[in-house]
Structure formats: C-alpha cells, structure tokens
A and B are shown apart, each in its own frame.
Chain A
Amino acid sequence: MSVDLFFTNLLYGLTIGSALILIASSLSIIFGVMGVVNFAHGSLAMLGAYLGYSLILWKMNFWVALIISPLVVGALAMAIEGFTLRPLYGKDPLLQFFLTYGLAMIIGNLVLYFWGSDPHGIDKPILLQGPTSIAGIIYPKFRLFVFIFSAVLAIVLWLFITRTTWGIILRAGIHNRELVGAFGINMSTVYTLVFALGSALAAIAGVILGAMRNINPAMDLDLVTSGLIAVVIGGLGSFRGAVLGAFVIGLSESFGAQLWPGFSKFTVYIVMVAILLWRPEGLIKEV
C-alpha cells in the first residue's frame, strides 16, 4: 500500500468512525448510567433518519431537520422510558434487553407502515455537497463536516460528563445509584433525561448517516450492531471507550477492505475478539 493510499484510508477510517461516535457514545451512556443494553438504539436512530427525511420533504432544510428530529425522538424516548423501562428497573437485566428488542421490532414495523420498504435519501446541504482537497487528498465536504461535528459534540459531551454537576451525578449514579438517591437527587428523573439525551443523539446520528448513506427499514440492525461492537471494544459504559471503539471500527472497515477484501465485513469482528481476549473489560474502563 502506497503512503498516499495509507493516509487516504486513515482519513476515511477516521470519518467512518466519527459517524459512529454519536451512536456508540450515547449507547454507552445509557448502559453506563441505567444499566440498560438498549437494543432499540439503532431503531431510534433510524426513526430520527426517517423523521429528518420527512421534514426535508416538507420543505424544511437539513439544519432544521437536524434539530427537530432529535427533539421529537427525545420526547418519544421519555415516554418509552417512563411507560416501559421504568417498571423493570431492579429486575433481571435480561427483561430490559428483551423489552428493548421488542421496542426495536415495533419501531421497525411502524417505520415500514408509515414510510414503506423503498429506500430513501436525505439531501445534503448545497454548501456541503461535492469534494474538497486536503493535502492533495480528495475528500468529501460533508464527511469533513461529519468529522468536525462529531468531534465537537463528543468534546461537549465529555465536558458535560466531567465538568458539570449533572455529569458528576451521572458518574456517581453509575457507581452507586442508591447513595446518589439518598442525597435527595431524583434518579428516576436522571434516568429519563439520560435515555432521552441518548436517544436524541442517536437521532442526530440517524439524520447525518441518512445523508451519507440510504435510509431503509433494515438500517437499524446495522447501526445497533456497530454501536454495540464499539461499546464492547471500548469498554462497557465508558464514554471515552465508545469513542475509541468507534474509531477502531472505522479503521478496521477502511483498512480491512484494502488489505483483506474478501473478509472486510469480518475484520471488525476479528479485531473485537482479539481485544476482548486481550482485555475482556474493553480498552478503557471508566466513564
């Protein structure tokens, strides 16, 4: 592989990873704080993508869709958390997993009912269409935006978690929910807000990915699988780990397709197995 091709793939791998950061980090926050492996996370991202698509069809622009779609999905997530997940807290975690699996099926079928099975696409803003050049490498403008946007959001989230009172509550809640509750903090409200925030981030990812790829009713499984792999690689419940895991997936996809074309889909799984054997707790073990 030439140096030129190496740097091109490195750049593309980082971009693929950056698009996954929002899915993986929000999945990780939900797991870290609530202890819920949210199998419906990909479905909420898919719903965000479809809502974004419809908003643009209704003559709104991409940026408006990028704001409204997460708000709607976040509000829906509040209702889902309140009515379905809350009664299961403190019970067998498998019940929560099966519940979110069921929710994924319901959301998937609702998407099929309202939007049909044909694939759709979200138009990119005119400003971000076409390529630009970075050090001689032809690079899509929209991907550059995704890279910067995801990086900024990830930094904001990280600052929120590490530098704010709410972040302290979140981190404390991961270690000892009862004790945090004993300080008069309503953990029930914290759970609702975390689930809504995580789902809204998934919806943002859905709108962005919908402009990079096509939107179809099967995309939820792809998204949740990639998100879960990133979280497992990075370390369950770790925000920084999820970010790292997303980049590992992106680079595995990018270089795997170059070096082992016949096995490119498996490369990421091979990497995941290798990391789990080496560090079963994942690459990073804290929030």
Chain B
Amino acid sequence: MLLLVYGGNPKIAGENCSRYTFQCGHTTYSVSAPGVSWMFDNLGKDIFLIGSDYSSGRDICGWFKEGYLKRGGTIVGEAYPPIGTSEFAPYLSQIQHAKPRPKLVAGFLLPVDTIDFTKQYAEFGLKKEGIPIIFALGVYNLACLKAAGDPAEGMYDIIHWTPTLPHKENVEFMEGFEKFAKMEVEDAVVLGYEAGTCITYGLDQTGGDPNNEKLVDAIAKRQWVGPRGKCSFGPNHSVMHTTYIRQVKRVKGKLAPMAIKDLGLQTTPGDATGPGGQCKM
C-alpha cells in the first residue's frame, strides 16, 4: 500500500490509479482548477499564465487556460521558465509588454522560484500597477513570506489549509505541534500528520492487523475532520478536501496567508489531465 503525502500528480487519480494507492494530501488539480471561477469573477478576465516548466506548472496553467477560455476570458500571454530560475527579468518584460494589459498573473512556480518572482515582480512595477498574482498549491506559505517580504502582501494563492482556520481540530493540532516540534506548522506538516492518522485509523479498524487488504478497505471508507477540515477518499482513492483562496495580509505586524474564500469540498476527477483518463480499479 502506498500513502502519498505530497504526490500531487492527478494521473494517480485517473489512469494510474490503484486500489493500493491513496492520495492523502491533494493533487495539483484540487488546489488549482477549483479557483478559476473565483479568479475570473473577482480578479479579471485577461490573464497572463506563468508556470515552472514541468508537469505541475504546465498542468495548472492548462486548467487555468481551459477555465478562462470556457468563460470567454483572454489569455494575454504564457511563459514557462525552467525550474530553478532566479532571474525573471526576461519573463517580467513579457508581462510588461503584454497587450491587452493583464488583469492578473496566474499559474504555479516552485516555492523558491516564487520568492524571486514575487520580489522582482514588485521591483518591475507590476505590483504597483495593481496586477495581482495568484498561484496554485499554496506557495505563499510562511517560509516563502519571510523571504519574499512586503512584495508578497496582497497576493493570492489556492490551497487546502491555512494556519488561521478557526476550527477546533486545527487549533489543537497547531498548538500541539508547535509545542512538540518547536517550529511553525506548514501545509506539508499537516499533510504528513493526516496521512499518519490514516495509518493509525486503519490499524484501529483492523484491530491492529496489518493485513494489506483489510487496511485498504478500512482506509478507503475513512471520513475525518482534521486540521484541514472535513476529508474523505473518493472511489479513485483521491482525497476530498476543502479548497481555499488565500490572500497574503499583514496580521499583528507579520505577513500571513489568510483564507478569504471557501471553495467547498473538492476532489480530482479521473479525467483531470484529459479525456479517457478515468480510473479503473
């Protein structure tokens, strides 16, 4: 049995699904595509797409593009910088010269790349021009915000969790983890914890019997409320979780990603990466 904590490839919810694989964390689809409608209605209809040049960056830009074109939006430009790009001037100049002027810049860059992009974005005057960035996969986490600083304030991301969620399970987990580990909780910590509780839940259900078949059956039926809120597994063993739009705001002098829109429970359809990719267990 394979419990994926951070493996976000949506094909695991589709053509590569398996009875013995559980996608416990999220997929790149479940923390990007559900945000398109909100982006279109609230940030603007003319979008510039930017994604790290690998499957996740291109997939996410693909879903944004599809969603925008379906709604009658305009793709004013696309750029796919290589992973590890630290100098974004050539890409920012494309945004500067894009016509019509984009109302938002969206996509997904790896977290370290996001820091440089966000800092340079402000340097090049694009933040001042009032064009927001919205990135998938919750890249504006606390570590990123500490490094990116003020240029990140006001930017958006899409993810399944944020430290300020007020429900009991999140508050208790945050307090417990910070006391235990003496470090701040990030979304990867939450995912690790929730995947771990899937194992303990499964073993509780089987009376401690580690038999693979029994464990799989038990975990597949699990419904729980964790730091992220309500979660369960779909028939393709991909997790169903709440997805949020977050905005970086200054709270008590520090930058923090605050949930500003609850997009409801989301999961990943088998054909997320294209028709004919349905999961066959």
Asked if A143 CB lies within 8 Å of chain B CBs, one says yes
> Are A258 and B86 closer than 8 Å at their CB atoms?
no
> Are B89 and A118 closer than 8 Å at their CB atoms?
no
User: In the complex, which residue of chain A has the Cβ closest to the Cβ of B122?
Assistant: A130
Classify the interface of chain A: helix, strand, loop or mixed.
helix
Chain B residues in 8 Å Cβ range of A8: 93, 96-97
> Are B97 and A119 closer than 8 Å at their CB atoms?
no
B149 partner, pick from A121, A130, A216, A258, beta carbons under 8 A: A121
Q: Which of B30-38, B112-120, B189-197, B207-215 contacts A (4 or more CB under 8 A)?
A: B112-120
Q: Which of A88-96, A157-165, A259-267, A272-280 contacts B (4 or more CB under 8 A)?
A: A259-267
**CB of B53 to closest CB in A, whole Å:** 7
In the bound assembly, the distance between CA atoms of A213 and B124 in angstroms comes to 13
Interface residue range, chain B: 20 to 34
Asked if B143 CB lies within 8 Å of chain A CBs, one says yes
A213-B87 contact given A2-B97, A9-B93, A265-B82, CB 8 Å threshold: yes
In the bound assembly, the distance between CA atoms of A140 and B97 in angstroms comes to 16
**CB of B127 to closest CB in A, whole Å:** 9
> Are B115 and A119 closer than 8 Å at their CB atoms?
yes
> Are B125 and A131 closer than 8 Å at their CB atoms?
yes
Chain A residues in 8 Å Cβ range of B146: 118, 120-121
In the bound assembly, the distance between CA atoms of A233 and B73 in angstroms comes to 46
**CB of B82 to closest CB in A, whole Å:** 4
- What per-residue 1/0 map shows which CB atoms of A134-156 lie under 8 Å from chain B? 00001010110000000000000
Chain A residues in 8 Å Cβ range of B116: 213-214
Chain B residues in 8 Å Cβ range of A130: 122-123, 125, 128
In the bound assembly, the distance between CA atoms of A56 and B146 in angstroms comes to 14
In the bound assembly, the distance between CA atoms of A57 and B79 in angstroms comes to 35
List B residues at the A interface (Cβ < 8 Å).
53, 79-82, 84-87, 89-91, 93-94, 96-97, 112, 115-116, 119-120, 122-125, 128, 143-144, 146-149
List A residues at the B interface (Cβ < 8 Å).
2, 4-5, 8-9, 12, 15-16, 118-121, 123, 129-131, 138, 140, 142-143, 212-216, 219, 222, 253-258, 261-262, 264-265
